[in-house]
Amino acid sequence: MDKTKTSIQPVEWRDGRLCLLDQRRLPAETVWLTFDDANTVAHAIHDMVVRGAPAIGITAAYAVVLAARHAWNIAGVNWKQAMTAPIARLEASRPTAVNLKWALDKMSDLYLALPDEQAPEQQLLELAVQIHQSDIEANHQMGRLGAELIETGSQVMTHCNAGALATGGFGTALGVIRQGVAEGRIEHVHVNETRPWLQGARLTAWELLNEDIACSLNADVAAASLMASGRISWIIVGADRIAANGDVANKIGTYGLAILAKYHRIGFMVVAPTSTIDWQLSDGDLIPIEQRSPAEVTQLAEKQIAPEGIDAVNPAFDITPASLIDVIVTEAGVVRQPTVETMKALQNGRNM
């Protein structure tokens, strides 16, 4: 199989409706859910039917199309007023992933500029498709840029799922890994299980096995031991939001991996499109961290594994300071040793 391609696309527009691959059911079942209402899409985002910042943004863009269709049908020339509530529900569905707001802002800018007397669906759909396709193209560019940094024959470690399932297709961190495998730079991938949702065990392992990429699964608590073995050259992860100074919000556990990588002198690479950078936030302390249900920690596959009545802390993300990151790979370029100055150079289109 050509490792620079993937047939996995978790978000599709079919026959005027939005279809999402239910990632809660993988790897045991491949189930597609179909949506024709923006409010149910907001629930699907919150419930992690779809997850991964780029995929969430793409999903939200298509949800705006559904919202506009409904608004036109119920309100006619007053359709713009009917858009306010569904947009707000979508924006509140996953507060950490900045791609969600980025996509909603782009869609909102368009619909607000359309004439009141014009049905908005087709033009909004064209923009949603453009956002989707641009994400896939950006993933391939990031894959090429990131792979160039990896020496031939390397072993790498990844956390959570930053693959085709988390994007429009191909992946951010897994895009680099796919490209690196195709070029002979990566010979083995160590996959962290990623508690409590097990996105690494359920999703990343599934993607890699489907494409015959050599990999092994490890418990999160084994990461330090594996790094100490001297076999791992890079930790490669995605991001849900990046602050203007290069601080990164990613799946809980990323911060600990970055500390371990620094101690073991292993490269730490963050891969994310520029739409993930929140230029309005000066540093990671300002990034909102989603707090999820304690049941995700106390239960496994809806089976209670902890004593009844125990409380649990369940932040979905943590913040990795820029000082622990070696490179941030975007489709616009690679930022080495991210700082306010090097990030600003990326924003201004200068060489980093």
| Catalytic center residues | 240
Task: Name the E strands within the chain.
Answer: 11-14, 17-21, 32-35, 154-158, 186-192, 215-218, 232-237, 241-243, 248-251, 267-271, 277-278, 299-300, 303-304, 317-320, 327-330, 333-336
The single-letter code of the amino acid at 230 is G
CB 99 within 8 A of CB 56: yes
Q: For residue 351, how many other CB atoms are within 10 A of its CB? A: 7
What the block records as the tokens of 262 is 């620094």
φ, ψ of residue 147 to 5 degrees: the values are -65, -30
Task: Name the E strands within 129-214.
Answer: 154-158, 186-192
CB 38 within 8 A of CB 64: yes
Please spell the DSSP secondary structure of 289-351, one letter per residue.
--B--THHHHEETTEE-S-TT-----BSEEEE-GGG-SEEEETTEEEES--HHHHHHHHTT--
Residues in the chain: 352
- Residue written as token pair 């896939």: 136
Partners of 243 in beta bridges: 278
Rounded to whole angstroms, the Cα distance separating 62 from 81 reads 19
What the block records as the tokens of 206 is 């599934």
Under the phi-then-psi rule, with left for phi > 0, alpha for psi from -120 to 50, and beta for the rest, what region is 271? Answer: beta
